[in-house]
Amino acid sequence: MSKIDYLYDWFQSYVRAYYTDDRFVMDRVLLKEEHSKRVAASSASLAEHLELDTRQKILAEVIGLFHDISRFRQVTEYRTFVDAESFDHGDAGAKEFAKSGILHEFTAAELAMIGFAIINHNKMVIPPACPQTELFAKIIRDADKLDIFRILPPIQADHDYSPKLISQLKPGGVLSYTDVKTLADKRLIRLSWFYDIYFDWTLEKLVEEGHLERQLAALPDTEDCVVIKDTMKAYIAKRLSL
Ligand SMILES: [Fe+2]
């Protein structure tokens, strides 16, 4: 039995309490349950790759497992994963974790880092923090995006993009969800996530698994979009020394 098996047991019984006959909710509970476990595994792999010590590897894995802990209550009470229509699931997740029965397993410093990572896994940027605290926030953001790219269905929409987002993405950069006006805009948001990947380990996986190519292919070959695609390809090539 691994050192953190009991944390998985706790997580499992927490999630099981949200199991329901309501198909809509149940499908989404299972989706987030599986997502959380895969993100925990990716966080652990990334921590291993970064040669973190045993305790740090455990923290990275725990954050991965619990980062979306408030999603279960969110979909049960609000029937949505849209934060703007319910609550900020990063902030709520940290509060949920702070109420959990596993707190005594961590030091005050570790709890602060876990809380910070959960709160900031879904924010535009990571606010200033000490390097160690920042590290765990970066790991969860990368591991989360890796899994999201693996499971996202393609966006079914025409090519009706907001000029503001097009002009922000042309020079390269992360976009804000609040500027999304059309369904098609979500393609631009997804593509911009590649500018928000911290570790080359993650970027390499995204490229190897074809996620970059898939997101690029979803954009048309208009003048603006060709600029966006070329800027992105040049950025990736530079990061990965291709
Ligand atoms: Fe999340």
Residue 72, number of CB atoms within 10 A of its CB: 22
Which residue's entry shows tokens 């059309």?
Answer: 182
In the predicted model, is pLDDT for residue 242 greater than 90? no
What integer is the mean pLDDT of 120-130? 95
The stretch 152-180 carries a mean pLDDT of 91
Spatial distance between the Cα atoms of 158 and 187, rounded to a whole number of angstroms: 11
Taking the centre of ligand 1 as the mean of its atom positions, its distance from the CA of residue 58, in whole angstroms, is 19
If pLDDT is split at 50, 70 and 90, which confidence band does 189 have? very high
Give the pLDDT confidence score for residue 2 in this predicted structure. 61
- Say what the pLDDT of residue 177 is: 83
The pLDDT-based confidence of 131 (bands split at 50, 70, 90) is: very high
| 226 C-alpha to ligand 1 centroid (Å) | 31
Q: What is the structure's pLDDT at 119?
A: 98
Q: How far is the CA of 235 from the centre of ligand 1 (A)?
A: 26
Distance CA 70, CA 117 (A): 14
Task: Give distance in angstroms: CA of 106 to centre of ligand 1.
Answer: 22
Average pLDDT over every residue of 18-22: 98
> Does residue 1 surpass a pLDDT of 50?
no
Output the CA 213–ligand 1 centroid distance in Å: 24
Mean predicted confidence (pLDDT) in 140-153: 95
Spell 116-151 as b/e; 16+ CB within 10 A means b: bbbbbbbeeebeebeeebbbbbbbbbbbbbbbebee
What's the pLDDT tens digit per position in 192-207? 999 999 999 999 999 9
Alpha helix locations (H) across the chain? 5-16, 23-49, 54-66, 71-78, 89-98, 108-120, 131-151, 163-169, 185-192, 200-208, 211-217, 223-239
Task: Kindly tell me if the per-residue pLDDT of 103 is higher than 90.
Answer: no
Rounded to an integer, the average pLDDT of 3-23 is 94
pLDDT band at 4 (very low <50, low <70, confident <90, very high): confident
Q: Any idea which fold 5-151 has? A: Hypothetical protein af1432 (1.10.3210)
Place of tokens 């970059």: 212
Confidence tier at 16 by pLDDT (50, 70, 90) = very high
CA distance linking residue 189 with residue 169, whole number of Å? 9
Please say if the pLDDT value at position 129 is more than 60: yes
Cα 68 to ligand 1 centroid, rounded to whole Å: 5
- 2 Cα: distance to centroid of ligand 1 (angstroms): 26
Global confidence as pTM? 0.93
